[in-house]
Structures are given as C-alpha cells and as structure tokens.
Structure 1
Amino acid sequence: MGIILFLILLSVTNISQISSQCLEDQKSLLVGLKSNLIFYSSSSKKLVKWNQSMDCCRWNGSISGGIEDSEYLFGLTYLKKLNLAYNNFGRTEIPKGIHNLTQLTHLNLSNVGFTGQVSVEILGLRKLHSLVLSSSDWANPPMKLENPDLKMLVQNLTGLRELNLDSVDISAEGSDWCQVISSSLPDLRILSLRNCDLSGPIDSSLAKLRSLSVLRLDGNSLSSSVPNSFANFSKLKSLSLFRCSLHGFFPQKVFQIPSLQNLDLSNNEFLSGTLPQFPLNGSLRDIILSETNFSGSLPASIGNLVMLSMLDLSNCRFNGTLPPTIGNLTELDHVGISDNNFTGSIPLFHLSKKLTYVNAARNSLTGSISSMHFQGLPKLASISLGNNLLGGNIPSNLFALPSLQTLDLSNNKFGGPIQEVSNLSSSLLEIDLSSNHLEGLIPKFFFQLDQLTNLVLSSNFFNGTVQLEMFPPNLSRLDLSFNNFSIVSDDSNTNLPLLPWVNSLGLASCKLKKFPQLSTESKLLILDLSSNHLKGQIPNWIWKIGDGSLIQVNLSFNMLNDFQKPYKFPPSISILDLHANQLQGELPIPPPDFLYVDFSFNYFSKYIPNEIGNLIRRAIFFSVSNNKLTGEIPTSICNASYLQVLDLSGNALSGSIPSCLPNNNLELGVLSLARNNLSGDIPDTFGDKCSLRTLDLENNVLTGKIPGSLVNCSFLEVLNIGNNRIEDTFPCMLTKMGLRVLILRSNELYGNLLCPSAPTQEWRKLQIIDISHNNFSGDISVLNFSNWGGMISANNNKDLIRFDSSFLDGLHYQDTVIVTIKGLEIKLTKILTIFTSIDFSSNKFHGEIPSSIGDLKSLYLLNLSHNAIMGSIPASIGNLKQLGSLDLSSNNLTGNIPVELASLGFIAFLNLSFNDLFGMIPKGPQLQTFTEASYEGNVGLCGFPVNKSCNEDGVSSPPEFRNKSEKEIGWGYVSVALGFVVGLSSFLWLLLHCKSWGDVYFEKRYFLRK
C-alpha cells in the first residue's frame, strides 16, 4: 500500500476566477475513479472521504491498484500534475492510457512498483516540466529505457526542468548520455540518474546545463575524473557522486561555488583532492567525503561555513590539527572525521547546540577532554573518540548529557578513577571505555543506568570486588575482561538468571577460580572466560546454556584438563577457543558447523582422525598446533575447501604433505606445518588461484627442491622453509613477488644469488631475509641492495605482519619468526613492519661488501659472519642509523674500521672479531662500550677497548696475518654474545609491547580478537 495520490486540475480560462474549485465533470470522473480504485477502506483516512460535497482539488489518498485501464483517470484530460508516488501497483507496466494526459506538466511515478520498458506513450507528454520515474524498491526488477531510449525521451520532452530516472536501467556510455541531455534539455535544473548503469567518462558537454541546481549520479560505474568545468555550474545547490568509481583530483573550485549547499563524493576510494579556503558565509550545509583519498589539512576557514550541518570526512587521509573554528559552527548536526591522521587536541563543541553526532575515532588525537568540550549540548546523542592518544581523566559531565546514548572512548590513554555523577543521563544505551588506564572502583552510577544495553570496560585497571547481580538488568553486552578486580556471584538462587538479557559476556582475566553459575542465562550467545584460574573439568552444563544456543565460547589460558562427561558441543556453536590449557587424550570432534576452532597448546595425543576433513568442511580456521599428535596428515584435510588458516605445527606428525592440500584449498591464506617430522618433497601443486599469504614448513626433514608453482601464490608474504634438507639453488622466481619474510636457513641450498630473470634483485617489500647456514657462494659485491624497498624507507609504522580473515571480522592470525645470532635464537612473536633483518651468515660468499648496503636506511640487524668476504668495511654502513646489531666476524675484512660506524647511536651488538682489521678503533659514544671480545682476532687494531695502544700515527705495529682456517671464538666472546641476547631480548620485549610472559610464550599462530 502506498502513501498519497495528488490530483491537481487545470481550470479553463473562462472560470479562472473560481480556480480554487474543480469542474463538475472532473469531479464526476474522480468519484468514478474512486469506485474503481483498490484500497483498504477500513484503514484509509483520505480516499474514503472522497465525495461530491468536497472540492476535489483537495482530495488525496492511498491506492494499490485500479488505474491500469481506468477511463476515469485517463479521462482527466485537463490534469496538470499527477503524483502517484509511493503507491504499490505490483510489477505492472506504466498504463498506456497515460498518453491522454497531454496537459501534464508534472508526472511523478516513483516507487510504485512499475517494471518493464518505460512506456512510449510518455513521449507524447510534451508539456512536461518534471518527470520522476525513480525507484528504490530492490525487490522488483527496474524499469528499462531501451525503446524508447534516453535520446528519444529527451528529444521529445525538451521542456523538462526536472528529470529523475533513479534506478531505471539506461545502460549508456558517458559520451552518449552526457551529450544527448546537454543538447536537448538546455533549461534542465534537476538531473538525477542514480543507479542507472551508466558508464563514463563524464563528458565536459554537461557544462552546457547552466541552469543546473541539482546533479545526482550516485551508484554508476563512471570510472572517470570530475571535469574542471563543474566549477562553472554557478547555480548548483546539490552535487552527489556517491560510489561512482571516480578517480583523479577533484576540482577544488567546486567547493567554492557560492550557491552550493550539499556535496557528496563518498565511497570513491581513488578520488583524491584537498579542501580549499572557504569564503565567508558560505552556503555549504553538507560535506560528505568519506571513503575517498582526500588528504591535507582541515583549513581554519571551515569556520566560515556558518550553515554547515554535516561534515563527514571519515576514512580519508586528512592530517594536521583540527582547527578550533570547527567548534563555532552553531548549525552542526553531524561530525564524522574518523579514520584519518588528525593530530592535536579536540576543539570545543559547546556552541554547537544542534550537534547530535561526533565521531573522531581512529586518529592520533592527543591531550585531554575537559568539562567544557561537550558542555550544554542538549541534542548530543553519540560521542565516539576511540583509538586515539587522548589522556587525562574522563570528565564526569559526559555522563550527564541529557540526550547521550552512545559514548565510546576506547583505546586511548585515559587514566585515574571515574568520579561519581548525580544527575545521570537517562538516555545512555552504550558505554565503551575499554583499553585505557582507568583505575579504582567501577563507579556506582554505572549500576543505576537502567536503560544501558552495552557496557565495555575491558583492558583497564579497575579493582575491587564486583558482583554480576549489581549490573543493570537490561544489559545485552557486558565485558569486564582484563582488569584487576575479582568477579563473584551469588549462587543462592540458581534458578534466576544473573543477567536475563545478556547475549555477550566477557569475563577474561577476572581472577575466576570457579565457573560462574550461568546455566540459566537463556539469551547468552557469546561467553569469554579466558585467562582465569579455572581448573579441572569443563562442566557439561556450559554446552546447554540457552538450550544449546551458544555460538562463541572462549576458555583459553586456563588450567582445564578434561571435559565433564557426557558432553556434546551444541550444533549452534561456530567459534570455540580452548587453546593454552592442559587438555589431554584424543582430539575432540569439532562441532558440526564451526567456523573457528583452536585446540592449540594442550596435551592432546594420538592421531588426527582420518575423517577430519569431512568434519571441518565449513571451517575457516583450524589449529591443533603444539600438542602431542602423531601419525600422518589425513588426506581428507583437502576436503575442507573453505579453510583460510590451517595450523598443525609443533606436533610429532610424520609422513609427507598431502599433494592435494595446496591445490584443493583455494581459500587457504595460512598453512603452518612447522616443527614436525614431515618428510618427502614439498608438493609442487600450488594452483593458479593460490591465496597463500603465509607458508611455514620450518624444522621438518623435507627434501627435494623449492616448488616452482609457488610463483602462483601472488599474495605470499611469509615463506619459511628453514631447518630442512632442501637441496636447490636460490629461488629466483620469488624475487618479484611481494614477500616480506623469507627464511631459508639451515638447508642444503647452493649456488649464487644472481637471478638472470631479475638481475636487479627486486624484493620491493622484503624486510626479513635469513639464508644462513647453507652452501651459497658467489661474489657478494654484485648484489644491488638499492631495490630492497622494504628496508630502504625509515619506517615508523608499528603495524604487524599478520593475516586478517575476510570472513571472521576482527580476527586475525599472528605470524612469528626466529632471528638467529651466533646460533642463539630469539623468537619474535609479533613481527612489526619496522623490524628489518639480513642474515647471510655461515655460507661461502666472497668479494667486497657493496656500498649499496648503506641504502637500507631502516635496517636493524645485519649478519654477514662466517663467510670469506674481503676488502674494507664500506663507510656507507654509517648511514644505517637504525642499526641495532652488526656481525661481520670471521671473514677476511681488511683496512680500518670506518669512523662513520662511531655515529651509530642505536647499535646494541657489534662483532668484528677474527678479521684482518687494523688501525685505531674510532672513538664514539658506542664503539668503546663493547668489550675486547667484539674486536679480538684483529691483531692490527689498537686503542680502547683492545689491550694495545696506538703509536703517534694512530696505528699499531703491522698486523701479523693469521691463518684463515683458524677462526675460533673464545669463551670471552661467547659470554658477550650471551649477554647481548639477554639485552636484545629485553629490547624487543619493550619494542613489541608484550603484555606478559604468557602472551609472549603462547601468542604463536592463532587468531586474536581485536
């Protein structure tokens, strides 16, 4: 059933003086029309009142049928305006009788359910000024404009001032539709062609429409830039180009069109641009640039837009500070500036009395929030400032804003206690204060917010003792995880639910020593009891909560050792995390429809069931790593074709890798079979549609060659086949791929590193390479490090190398890597993009170190030890200002130690021992801090810290060149190396922000919740 039918009649000239009333014959036609219309008289408040006693010019109503061949409707030959919008005629075509209404100037048939070809009869309505055929009904097929086509339509209706064909299938190219409209409709003022299957480019001929005030082209694949001529639309009020696949640089002068009020360029991710200086008293009311590539700063002249109501710049690349003038815009209703690079403090918004929404999340905003920032804003309903760098106390008046419903201050640096509030906001529905430094007791007023549905306080320092019964009864989500308080519950009445409406409950790291009584929580869907002190058996009542309706359970990081029997996983469960416990026995059969199961870091033994692949057919993530599983990998695993992550590492599996595994599982992004006893060749069956991002096969007994079909894995970022028995040459086919981590250490690889197909050795993203302990040879001086882009830029970005699931939002798989120094291993449980490393040690390289090594400005670790490298140490190493570890020991290096090395202020480990270096050790803040062991075996070196003084020329006596076969390391060096490993481990621990030893030990290769 639609909304309204408006009929406005054109009176004849000889009765113009009574034009407020319609003619009797027209009234009779309308009464007859009413008798034929299909509508619900019982619910109608307008149509049912049509009668002879009322002026038919004032009739309106709602209809759903009865006009298809209506002699009454199409007999109204003097009808001037017909609006049938938002009625429901149910997949019929435009009635042919419409051609009788030749006096029509306005025709609106939007959202009435008409389908099929746009009627040719419309071409006869030559007096039309306004034609609206739009539709937003996605349930019905769209109307088509093929015969007649767009050209025929506009050439017959040249008087149109408004043309709205939204969602009509036009299917025309830019050079066609632009030119035919601009040449046929010179007086057009409103043009709306949203979702019409138009293609680009946007033709400059549109600029001929000098009277245009509204242009809407949303949802078309224009694949075009926006012509500069758009700035010539001097009367333009509204421009909407949402999701048009635009690119290029947007004309800045369009923002400065004096009449422009509404501008929407959102969801054009390749469209770039900057904001101009805005003129005084600008007319702009809405600026929507979200999900574009706009960048630059937000100018202070934004304060000139006194009429601005909506500002949405979210998910762009803006930076700089937020101008205080933005807080002076009294008409502001909506501010969306999230997901940019804004810095500095938040402006005061206390003058924006109409403000309802502020979202500045995921920036780099600093400073604190005072009680003035959002003071006296009666309509403010939502504040989102999460994922910034804001600190200080949270002002208590935020909780007293009268209309506030959502408050998100998560992932900041707010600290201290929250002060109690007396005049609470009764509207508060959602509070998220997670991941801050808040402390003290949970404020009592939180328990008084009766309307509250979401309360998230996780990852803070709240303390004390908390009872679940104290929280508001309407909560649907409660997350108290990772604080310093203890959770207790009153078990005296186990028949009543503690939280009757809760569907998500997070109690991780809440010092629980026993399971809280949750068996009566009928609405509970998500339960997190991880990182507590739970021991013994998992009670079988957990799987019956809500009549078995649980969809997500996390019991990881406890001391659970068994399942209370009988037990059965509920069929509804899709995410089950039991990793890091003491569970033992046979591997449990996963729930039938699960998406994610993590049984890693337990004591499960025996075999993986032969039918496992059939049991996990729908699985996206499956990990049984670091258990005691034996036997072979079942070939049925290839039937799990939806897997994105498969981790069987850290067991005692034997046999070969199933050859079907790389080829059948096209969604597979992570395959980790490391630290087993797998043998045979790596299958050369990586298919054309390979999606692998991580392949980790280290520490097995694999033989054969590196499979050439790996080149099909164009997304591969992490390749680790270290500590096997692979006998092959260097994998040149991988040099042009997007690898970030390449580990080939401790195999039987041989030959040089030169690649005929890629002589420049590209490695555009490579940041960690370890080819140590092989038989590689060749002249190292021919290597050109200038193309190793991942190590050249000084990268301050602390992102992690990880795999993000495309199906499980907010979950990711964390890669890990081992960095080796003199045979001592340091495990990086998080690989930051700022960590870079080259380890070529223990091979047979010769030649001189190329000076291009100095181009690797972000390099942190360089190990070329135990080779036959000769020549001098290049002075360009002094350019490596980020270098923290340098090992050139046990080579044939000669000459002086370059004075440039003394400027390396971050170097924590240095080993130049057992070479033929001579002369004075350069003086600097770092080089004298290392012990003599770092320089031993270079008999020509003098000066502190070696026990040999230099003569007046700064040299010692000529060196006695040693026998190159006698490259031994004394116990003094070993003690230095051991001391360094302890120091470097501490440094990396701080660098990688490890929370505790448990996180470092267990956070291996599994999904983590953001």
Structure 2
Amino acid sequence: MKILLLSWIFLLPICTLFVSFGIFVVSGQCLHDQQDLLIELKNSLIFNSTLSTKLVRWNESADCCSWEGVTCSDVGRVIGVNLDRESISGGLDNSSSLFRLQYLQNLSLVDNNFNSSRIPPEFGNLTKLSYLDLSNAGFAGQIPIEISRLTRVLSMSDCYLSGPLHSSLQKLQSLSIIRLNYNDLSAPVPAYLFSLPLLQTLELSNNRFSGQIHEFSNVSSFQLNTLDLSNNYLEGPTPMSLFELRGLQDLVLYSNNFSGSLHPNAIQQLGNLSYNNLLIECNGANSSFSSLPQLELLYLTSIKLKTFPDFLRNLTNLIELDLSNNQIHGEIPNWMWKLTHLDYLNISYNNVEGTFPNLSSLHILDLRSNQFHGQLPTFLQPFGYLDLSWNNFSSVIPASSFINIYSLSLSSNKFHGHIPESICNATFLKFLDLSNNSLSGTIPQCLFAMSSIGVLKLKKNNLIGKISDTFPAYCPLVALNLNGNLLEGVVPKSLANCTYLEILDIGNNQIQDAFPCYLKYISTLRILILRSNKFYGSIGCGGPNATWLLLQIVDLASNNFSGKLSIKSFANSKAMVVDNKAQSEFNYLQYQNSPIHTHNYLNQRETSFLNLYLDAITVSNKGLYFELRKIWYRFTSIDLSCNNLNGPIPEDIEVLKSLYILNLSHKAFTDRIPPSLGKLSELESLDLSSNKFTGEIPMQLANGLIFLSVLNLLLNQLIGPIPYIKQFATFSEVSYEGNKGLYGCPLKKECTSTEPRSPPPIFEDSHSKSRRLIDRNYIAAELGFVFGFGLVNGHWAPYVLEEMEDTILQTC
C-alpha cells in the first residue's frame, strides 16, 4: 500500500508573520542618538509618501518612541522596527544607520521592493537581533554568514534567495522558527536543520531542494511541531523518523518525488498530530482507512481514482472531503448523504454525472468541470460557497434565497432566462460568475449597487440594456467583466467610485462613448478592455495627473478612436515602463481578501476560497486571438488596431521598455517606422500591418528586439533591404508581403545574404537571472506555429501557455 502524507492546504500563507509583532508598544522616552539614527534611516530610504503609513509620519518634533513602527525599551533605546508594506524601493546601503541601532531585537521589512539587492552582511552588526523578517522584500542572492547570530526567528519567505544553505546556519542553536519558503534554494536539505534543539517550525516549501531526507537520531528531543517540505524535488523513501516526532502537528510533504510504502498505522504513531491538519494521498480505494474513524479532513486529490472509495462511508466524522482532479465517473453514492458532519465537499475536475445532489447540510460545495445536468433546486440557502461551473445544467436560475452565499459560480453551463433580482439579497456576496451561458434581459440595477461584491463576471451572454449608473460611494469592486453581450449606452460615471478596480472588461458590446477619462483616478487599474464597441474621439486623458500607474493590458481595438497617437496615458505605467525582471514568475492576478473586502462573519477557512484568479482575458496576435485563464503580473500588451488613428508613431514610444505585445495594425499611420521602437527590448510581438509606413525598416529594430518572435509588416509602403540578422533572420516572407519596395532575404527576389539563418536566442543566455529555467521543447513543437510569440525564445509564454483555449480568426 503506497501512501503519501499531505497537509491542509490552507495552513501556509506566502508570507507569515507573528501577530504580536504587527503593533509595537511604546515604552520610555526616545534617546537623542536613537532618534537621529531613525531620521537618518528615513532620509536614506526611497519610499512612496502617498502609500507610506509609517515613515511619512516620522517627525523630529515628536518622541521617536511614539512613532508608528518603532518600539523602545524602558530607557528609550530602539529595540523594534517594523516597516512592513512601506513601498520602499531601491537597495539598502551597507552604511545605513539601520545597522547602528545596536539594541535592535526585532526587525521586519516585509512586502517592500529592495530591487533584488543582496542581503547586507551588516545585519551581523545587530548582535541583539532575535527576530528578522525579510519576506517578500525583494532581496536576492544567498543568506549571508553574518546572520548566524540570530537567536529566535528567521523569516525570508518569497524573496529571491538562491543556492544551497550555508553551513553557518547550524550555529543558530536558539532559533525556534525558520521560514524560507517560496525562494530558489537548491541542493539537499541540510541534516543539521532537523537537529537544532529549539526549532519548532521549519518551512522550506516551494524551492528547488533535491535528494533524500535521511533518517535522523535522537528524535525524542526534537521540538518540531510544523514541518513543510512541499513543492520541491525531494526523492527516496519518506523517513520513518518523521513519525516519531511526538510534537508534530503539521506535516506537509506533497509535490515531491517521495517513493515507497507507508501503512496508515504509521500515522497513528504521531500521538499529538491533529487529524484536522492531516491530508492523505493514496493510490486507490483502500479499506485500511476504515481504522481511522475519527478522521475529519481527508484530501485524495490527483491520484487517478476511478470511483468513489467505498471506505469513505465508515468515516462518519468527516467534515471536509476533497476528491478533486481524479477520474471518478458515475453518480454520487447514496451513502454520501449519511456523512452528517460533512461541511465541505470538492469533487471538481472529474466525470461525475447526475442531477444536483441533495446535500443540504453542506456549506461549501465545488462541482466544477463534471457532467452534472438538469435544474437547480429552488432552495440554495445553506451554501456559502457554490461552484457549479463547466457542467451541463440547463434551466433558469431559480429566484432562490441566496442570503448566506458569499461566492457563486454558475459559468459555462446552459442557464437561460433572466438574472433573478433575488441574488441581490445576498448581502455577503463577494464573487459572482454567471459567464458563458444564455442569459438574456437586462442586468438588475441592484447588482451594480451592492456594497459587498468584489468580482462580477457576466461575460458571453445575451444581456441587453445599459450599465446602470448605481455603483455605490464605497464600491469594493475589483473586477468587472461584461464582455460579449449586447449592452448599449455609455460607461457610467459612478464607476469612478470603484477605487479598488483592477480589471474592467466591457469589450464586444455596443457601447457608444468617449474615452472614459473620469476613471483615471482609479490607481489600481491593471487591465482596460474596450475593444469592439463604438468608442470615439482621442485616446488618453490630458492634464498633469498620473494615470493608471499599474496598467499592464490595454485593448481598445475595433472602435472609432481617431486623431494622433499619444503615449502619455501609458507612459506612467510601471508595468510597461519599469524593468520588472525581479518580479516573481508565479504571481497571477487574484482576488484576495484584504481588510477592505473581509467581514467578520467569514472565518479563515471560508475566506481562503475567495483567493481566486481574477478573470480571463482575450489577447490578439497575428490575426488570431486566444484566452488566458490566468493573468500574469508581468504580462503587458497594447492593442489599438482597427481604429482611425493617423499620423506618425511618436518617438517617445521608447519608454515602454517592458511591453511584450504591441498591435498598431489597420490604421492610417504614416511616415517612417521610428527607430526608437528598437528600445522596446522585451517586445515579443509587433504588428504594424495595413498602414502607410514608408522608408526602410530601421536597423535598430533588428538589433534591439532580441525577443521578438512575431513580426507583421505586411501591406505598407516600405522599401529597401530587410535587416536579415538576429531575430529578423527567423521570420518568413509572410511578415513582409505587400511592400513592393522591400528586397533581400527572406524574400525570393535578390536574396544574396550568406549569413546563416540564426536560431532565436535561448532563454538561458539572455535572461538567465530573471526566472527559473523551464524545459519548453514540447511546447514549441505543438503550438509554435499557431501562436508564434513567446514560444520560440521561451520568454514569458510558459506562464500563460497552459491557459490558452479556443483559437479563433480575428478580423477588424
């Protein structure tokens, strides 16, 4: 019997802090030298005064022991500094006054951006430091030896640490907590970590650790209660020593390459292991689990189960059951209704069929991606979280009581009829997805007026009417997707109240309006999609105020915009302008629970279900478009094709250094192609087709666009030789058709170049330090011809390729 142990999926936040360190207690009167050091520190740091809540208030006229983020001893010495989420950028200088705060015991710099700088060894000067948290602070490299003087807590989760752990860490004999998850650490896990005498928590998940975990001795003296080695490359048998750790409460080993057999009785040897924090993965329906009648949480995910395991009927105390990502077919067995304590059931991504199950006691039910059919019951009141997406339900949405629901997804079914106004009675509703159905009629005005909803997705239906101008004054909306309906009218002015909005997608409707400049003060906006409507006038907003600092995807294609192109509206976007190489490759846009979105009625387990990926978007490329189910933070795109813009492309387009896709096709652009386009060094797809460009192709494009894998210059008035070098030597004649004055390779006429056709630059040579290496040979083989960009040079596509679907021909 082959079994692996997993842990409860909701136990590991990316960045974990001690709550007791979040708010500091003021004590004593600040000594002058201590205050001077703090003021010097403030003046040396680069931070956004608009976003800062601590540094911006450090004032010499007040006692520094009263400053937020500062803790003092009884005699006025600074012993704690907390600068979490202070929007600090740049590096930390080795001569910083921070390292002269000789009495400092606690230091936290969580959620800042120190720009991939190395951790200064001067931390070793802080000889009294016992708590150091640099999680998600933007440090990179290796952990310096000097940190070995720490005496209690070392937390550097979600940084960019790499390489093996230095042996000097074994000197940390007093450490009780080590958190190094979400980094790029490699080599075997050092055996000495398990023998640190006071260590209680060891979290090394989501790294590149490899090799075996060997058996260790003197287990009875260990104090470990939490061990997380998940998402690494560890192999070999699971060490039996783990099951002799009497104090172990959370053991997390999933997503490794462990092998061998383990009997369920080994689990019972963990005397203090709470079954509430236990997740088990097995290779089939195994009756041995009937010996664990007290089991309350059981997760059997992604193990190729074909049927519902019969032993489940004996686990009468089950509260949570997860059978997702298997190959289960047939209907839910009747004995499932007898599990009266069951509160959470997830059987998503299987082939289960039948009508809606009679599980009235459940609070959380996830049935997505199965073969359920029929109608919904009129009584849905017990559910708090209900996901029925990607099934075959075919009925009207019942005018049910939705009072308790906080997340409802009915997308990709065959629901028809009107959206019932009774949904608005769900005063706790945060997430509503009715996309991809056949719903008709108008959208209830009360939906837009709800003061709780954070994500509203109604795309790809047959909805008519106007978008109601009823968004509330304190609108919590994060994502609004109404794409692919029959909506008319204008963009409502009250939408400007939604100051947390990140995604606005109202494409493919019949909205007739000018560019919505009244939304320019929504500083959180990342994605703006207005394509295929009737928008008119100039693009962008005038005035000195910054517009959309986080904007990363703009799609205004197929409208009636006119005039000359201005880059000013996009030039303030850090996503497009700033070099973002240091940003984590695994970050996608998500709807996360902040204090703004969370109410007291939701407990920790319930809110964890709301950390959902935000929306899907359609990206066009070379006459095709495809849908991305996840949106990567670094993905940037501008599509202004099929409008009435004219004149030259402005030279200041060169500021968009982090742009990946640029589509300016099907317009009336004239003059020469600006050489400054060659400074868009991250560009992977460039479409300037069907314009009136003249002159030669600038050599700067061929020299500078080293990641370019899609080029479309057809149907212009270009002349002269084609610069057949670097990436330009990989493009076929199709990229240049319709330009009678062009000559040279790859065109058949006058192709005299003797230079070999060079392959695209490989990922390791170009940006080896920016991301983890990924084997992508199998990707290019299947999809390289269809999608082109990102698949040849392996630049960003691995992070979004898995989300592509339904490639369709696009026309203006």
Compute the TM-score of the two structures, normalised by the length of structure 2. 0.78
Q: Which residue of 1 aligns with 2:651?
A: 851
Question: How large is the Cα RMSD of the aligned pairs?
Answer: 4.2
Segments of structure 2 that go 5 or more residues without pairing to the other structure are: 1-23, 36-52, 599-605, 754-782, 807-812
- Aligned positions of 1:789-938 closer than 5 A: 789-796=574-581, 797=583, 798=585, 799-805=587-593, 806-807=597-598, 808-811=606-609, 812-814=611-613, 815-903=615-703, 904-938=705-739
**Which amino acid in the other structure matches residue 145 of structure 2?**
P
**Which amino acid in the other structure matches residue 635 of structure 1?**
E
**Which amino acid in the other structure matches residue 608 of structure 2?**
G
Q: Which residue of 1 aligns with 2:143?
A: 322
Q: Does 1:585 align with 2:398?
A: no
State the secondary structure of the residue aligned to 1:397: coil
- Aligned positions of 1:471-870 closer than 5 A: 475-480=275-280, 486-490=283-287, 497-516=290-309, 517-545=311-339, 548-563=340-355, 567-570=358-361, 573-589=362-378, 591-610=380-399, 612=400, 615-663=401-449, 665-738=450-523, 739-756=525-542, 758=543, 762-780=547-565, 785-796=570-581, 797=583, 798=585, 799-805=587-593, 806-807=597-598, 808-811=606-609, 812-814=611-613, 815-870=615-670
- Aligned positions of 1:126-141 closer than 5 A: none
State the secondary structure of the residue aligned to 1:790: helix
Structure-2 change in CA distance of 1:442 and 1:804 (3 Å) = farther
- CA displacement, residues 849-873 of structure 1 (integer Å, 9 cap, x when unaligned): 0111111001111111111110100
Distance across 1 between alignment mates of 2:332 and 2:218: 40
Structure-2 change in CA distance of 1:351 and 1:486 (3 Å) = closer
Structure-2 change in CA distance of 1:530 and 1:279 (3 Å) = closer
Distance across 2 between alignment mates of 1:413 and 1:669: 34
Q: CA deviation at 1:609?
A: 0.8
Distance across 1 between alignment mates of 2:194 and 2:26: 42
Contact 1:382-1:405 at 8 Å conserved across structures: yes
Residue range with higher mean Cα deviation, 688-697 or 783-792? 783-792
Q: Which residue of 2 aligns with 1:109?
A: none
Contact 1:741-1:767 at 8 Å conserved across structures: yes
Residue range with higher mean Cα deviation, 378-387 or 624-633? 378-387
State the secondary structure of the residue aligned to 2:448: helix
Q: Which residue of 2 aligns with 1:246?
A: 68
Distance across 2 between alignment mates of 1:672 and 1:902: 42
**Which amino acid in the other structure matches residue 474 of structure 2?**
K
Give the aligned length: 714
Q: Which residue of 1 aligns with 2:49?
A: none
**Which amino acid in the other structure matches residue 246 of structure 1?**
E
Distance across 1 between alignment mates of 2:61 and 2:313: 66
Distance across 2 between alignment mates of 1:417 and 1:858: 42
Segments of structure 1 that go 5 or more residues without pairing to the other structure are: 1-192, 208-219, 232-240, 455-473, 953-977, 1003-1010
Q: Which residue of 1 aligns with 2:130?
A: 310
Structure-2 change in CA distance of 1:337 and 1:226 (3 Å) = farther
Contact 1:350-1:376 at 8 Å conserved across structures: no
Contact 1:283-1:305 at 8 Å conserved across structures: yes
Distance across 2 between alignment mates of 1:532 and 1:246: 50
**Which amino acid in the other structure matches residue 624 of structure 1?**
L
State the secondary structure of the residue aligned to 1:733: helix
**Which gives a bigger RCO, structure 1 or 2 (Cα 8 Å, sep 6+)?**
2
- Aligned positions of 1:116-127 closer than 5 A: none
Q: Which residue of 1 aligns with 2:259?
A: 440
Q: Which residue of 1 aligns with 2:743?
A: 942
Q: Which residue of 1 aligns with 2:17?
A: none
- CA displacement, residues 145-164 of structure 1 (integer Å, 9 cap, x when unaligned): xxxxxxxxxxxxxxxxxxxx
Contact 2:212-2:236 at 8 Å conserved across structures: yes
- CA displacement, residues 460-502 of structure 1 (integer Å, 9 cap, x when unaligned): xxxxxxxxxxxxxx63333245xxx6222128xxxx9442332
Q: CA deviation at 1:360?
A: 2.1
State the secondary structure of the residue aligned to 2:501: coil
- CA displacement, residues 622-664 of structure 1 (integer Å, 9 cap, x when unaligned): 110111001001112221122111111100000011112111x
Q: Which residue of 1 aligns with 2:203?
A: 384
Distance across 1 between alignment mates of 2:99 and 2:679: 50
Contact 2:212-2:235 at 8 Å conserved across structures: yes
Instruction: Tell me the percent identity.
Output: 33
Contact 2:677-2:701 at 8 Å conserved across structures: yes
Distance across 1 between alignment mates of 2:616 and 2:227: 32
Structure-2 change in CA distance of 1:310 and 1:934 (3 Å) = same
Residue range with higher mean Cα deviation, 878-887 or 821-830? 821-830
- CA displacement, residues 876-906 of structure 1 (integer Å, 9 cap, x when unaligned): 1101111111111111000110001112111
**Which amino acid in the other structure matches residue 530 of structure 2?**
L
Structure-2 change in CA distance of 1:425 and 1:377 (3 Å) = farther
Q: CA deviation at 1:300?
A: 4.0
**Which amino acid in the other structure matches residue 311 of structure 1?**
Y
- CA displacement, residues 276-310 of structure 1 (integer Å, 9 cap, x when unaligned): 7999999869435476869776554655777x583
Distance across 2 between alignment mates of 1:864 and 1:382: 54
Structure-2 change in CA distance of 1:539 and 1:375 (3 Å) = closer
Distance across 2 between alignment mates of 1:731 and 1:995: 29
Structure-2 change in CA distance of 1:761 and 1:949 (3 Å) = farther
State the secondary structure of the residue aligned to 1:820: strand
Q: Which one of 81, 84, 89 corresponds to residue 265 of structure 1?
A: 81
Q: CA deviation at 1:804?
A: 1.3
Distance across 2 between alignment mates of 1:410 and 1:441: 17
- Aligned positions of 1:265-284 closer than 5 A: 265-266=81-82, 270=86
Contact 1:371-1:397 at 8 Å conserved across structures: no
Q: Does 1:430 align with 2:249?
A: yes
State the secondary structure of the residue aligned to 1:877: helix
Q: Which residue of 1 aligns with 2:601?
A: none
Larger Rg computed on CA atoms = 1
- CA displacement, residues 662-708 of structure 1 (integer Å, 9 cap, x when unaligned): 11x11111111100000111112112111111111111111122222
Distance across 2 between alignment mates of 1:533 and 1:951: 58
Residue range with higher mean Cα deviation, 534-543 or 361-370? 361-370
Contact 2:118-2:139 at 8 Å conserved across structures: yes
Structure-2 change in CA distance of 1:399 and 1:574 (3 Å) = farther
State the secondary structure of the residue aligned to 2:462: coil
Contact 2:246-2:272 at 8 Å conserved across structures: no
Distance across 2 between alignment mates of 1:869 and 1:389: 49
